[in-house]
């Protein structure tokens, strides 16, 4: 290959570019990104950046020295508009084209919105620009904040808003937040964190309408209640950015369909990160974005799948001063046992806890609260048990 184009200047895209150089590719490397910013770290956006404890300078994932070493052409602030697989051409949204021998699809995902017209005060939190706008609204006095969606982004944003002194309500359509990820028993423990920190939690209801002519003033729920709101943050998931691939030979179904090695049906195209559905699963986690590129690039350069990207799922979340860490694959019917620390009054105890999910006498997943050393040990043990896959 003489030219490889990485479409997406994200965490996954950056790691793919690094892998290309590390694995010996010395040809032309083009990196396309729809944001004007270079690669940056997203997890702090809902935490330290939102609360003002960290600035933008700490978010950058590259510096001038690394950019020089990568020796890449950076095409930022331009979207990909199409993929001409036969002609091996990436078409850009501004009409330009990039002739290429290989493509890494790393276009990520976009935050879902509620619709119903545009109003000031309504935000998503996915990008740096999103975080800038939300942070500006959260300064200069107490606000009534309604968080729509109790997932990890919603919970972390609620935690940050509460720390800033705002009045916060989390609205979750499910009976408990985080049930799909953690199961009902441990989801209840996380729900207790909201209440223990003065955040109201409304479950079993979704948004019927937003009110306010130009600026949001309230949120009407499907159960008939109306919540006053100065700021609304929508955290109801994300949609993979695959529209630009419509009409290409790639199979699309909630992401770009790939085998276990991130390879698509086209030998010269691989996909990584939030946009990639690898082996039937699309994982929107930092670890997937950093681990998948190694196998993906190996397979791209080989022209067929010689390495797989399997790993034991892992994610973490910081909420109300508690670091939650989870690894493994929980399934319905697994039993949960707290083996270290305790759950006190329905919430993590002072020293945190370690809980094991078990099936047929074997550990399938592990959740900890403020027990990083115990978690790392359990994570290594679980990884060795599950087909010898590395943690």
- What is the DSSP code string of 240-288? E--GGGTTSSS-BSSSEEE-TTSB-SSTTEEE-GGGEEETTB---SHHH
Which residue, chain included where needed, has tokens 């985080």? 178
Which residue, chain included where needed, has tokens 């396309």? 32
If one counts every other C-beta atom within 10 angstroms of the C-beta of residue 288, the result is 24
Dig out the tokens for 142 from the structure.
């107490």
Query: What whole-number distance in Å separates Cα of residue 314 and Cα of residue 283?
Result: 10
Q: Which residues of 73-93 are buried (b: 16+ CB within 10 A; e: fewer)?
A: ebbeebbbebbebeebbbbbe
Alpha helices in 141-178 (DSSP H): 152-163
Distance of CA 127 to CAs 36, 41, 204, 275, 357, Å? 11, 10, 28, 15, 34
Dig out the tokens for 48 from the structure.
């330290």
Query: What whole-number distance in Å separates Cα of residue 314 and Cα of residue 73?
Result: 33
Phi, psi of 202 (to 5 degrees): -110, 120
Q: What is the pLDDT along the chain (391 residues), one digit of tens a residue?
A: 999 999 999 999 999 999 999 999 999 999 999 999 999 999 999 999 999 999 999 999 999 999 999 999 999 999 999 999 877 999 999 999 999 999 999 999 999 999 877 899 999 999 999 999 999 999 989 999 999 999 999 999 999 999 999 999 999 999 999 999 999 999 999 999 999 999 999 999 999 999 999 999 999 999 999 999 999 999 999 999 999 999 999 999 999 999 999 999 999 999 999 999 999 999 999 999 999 999 999 999 999 999 999 888 899 999 999 999 999 999 999 999 999 999 988 889 889 999 999 999 999 999 999 999 999 999 999 988 875 655 5
Position 161 scores a pLDDT of 98
* Dihedral (CA of 179, 180, 181, 185) sign: positive
Task: Calculate the dihedral angle through the C-alpha atoms of 176, 184, 162, 139, rounding to the nearest 10 degrees.
Answer: -60
Dig out the tokens for 385 from the structure.
């048990």
Position 299 scores a pLDDT of 98
Which residue, chain included where needed, has tokens 């529209």? 243
Per-residue DSSP letter, 61: S
Contact present, 338 and 355 (Cβ < 8 Å): yes
Position 391 scores a pLDDT of 57
Task: Calculate the dihedral angle through the C-alpha atoms of 21, 23, 25, 30, rounding to the nearest 10 degrees.
Answer: -50
Residue 316 exposed, middle or buried by CB count within 10 Å (0-12, 13-18, 19+)? middle
Query: What whole-number distance in Å separates Cα of residue 301 and Cα of residue 21?
Result: 11
> Which contiguous run of DSSP H or E holds residue 218?
strand 218-221
Choose among 145, 123, 144, 157: nearest CA to 320. Answer: 157
Do you know the residue count of the chain?
391
Query: What whole-number distance in Å separates Cα of residue 199 and Cα of residue 149?
Result: 14
Distance of CA 333 to CAs 300, 336, 359, 382, Å? 39, 10, 8, 19
Can you list the domains of the chain with their CATH numbers? 3-110+238-302 (3.50.50.60), 113-234 (3.50.50.60), 321-385 (no CATH)
Query: What whole-number distance in Å separates Cα of residue 71 and Cα of residue 349?
Result: 50
Please provide the DSSP assignment of 359-391 as one string.
ETTEEEEEEEES-HHHHHHHHHHHHHHTTT---
């Amino acid at each position: 290959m003489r030219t490889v184009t990485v479409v997406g200047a994200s965490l996954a895209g950056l790691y793919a570019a690094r892998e290309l150089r590390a694995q010996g590719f010395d040809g032309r490397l083009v990196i396309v990104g729809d944001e004007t910013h270079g690669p940056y770290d997203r997890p702090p956006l809902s935490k330290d950046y939102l609360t003002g404890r960290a600035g933008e300078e700490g978010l950058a994932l590259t510096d001038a020295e690394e950019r020089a070493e990568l020796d890449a052409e950076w095409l930022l602030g331009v979207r990909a508009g199409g993929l001409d697989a036969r002609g091996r051409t990436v078409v850009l949204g501004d009409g330009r084209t990039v002739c290429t021998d290989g493509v890494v699809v790393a276009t990520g995902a976009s935050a879902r919105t509620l619709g119903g017209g545009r109003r000031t005060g309504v935000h998503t939190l996915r990008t740096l620009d999103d975080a800038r706008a939300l942070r500006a609204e959260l300064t200069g006095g107490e606000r009534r904040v309604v968080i729509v969606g109790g997932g990890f982004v919603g919970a972390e944003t609620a935690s940050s808003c509460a720390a800033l002194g705002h009045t916060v309500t989390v609205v979750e359509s499910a009976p408990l937040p985080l049930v799909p990820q953690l199961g009902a028993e441990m989801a209840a423990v996380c729900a207790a964190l909201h209440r223990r920190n003065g955040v109201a939690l409304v479950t079993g209801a979704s948004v019927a309408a937003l009110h306010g002519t130009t600026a949001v003033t309230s949120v009407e729920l499907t159960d008939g209640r109306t919540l006053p709101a100065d700021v609304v943050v929508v955290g109801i998931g994300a949609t993979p950015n695959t529209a630009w691939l419509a009409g290409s030979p790639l199979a699309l179904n909630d992401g770009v369909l790939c085998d276990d090695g991130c390879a698509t049906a086209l030998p010269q195209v691989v996909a990584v990160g939030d946009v990639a559905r690898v082996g039937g699963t699309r994982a929107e986690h930092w670890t997937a974005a950093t681990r998948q590129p190694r196998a993906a690039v190996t397979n791209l350069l080989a022209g067929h799948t010689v390495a797989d990207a399997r790993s034991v799922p892992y994610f973490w979340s910081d909420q109300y001063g508690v670091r939650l860490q989870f690894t493994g694959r929980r399934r319905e019917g697994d039993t949960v046992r707290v083996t270290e620390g305790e759950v006190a009054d329905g919430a993590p105890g002072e020293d945190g806890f370690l809980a094991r999910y078990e099936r047929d006498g074997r550990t399938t997943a592990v959740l900890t609260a403020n027990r990083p050393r115990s978690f790392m040990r359990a994570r290594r043990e679980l990884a060795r048990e599950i087909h010898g896959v590395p943690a």
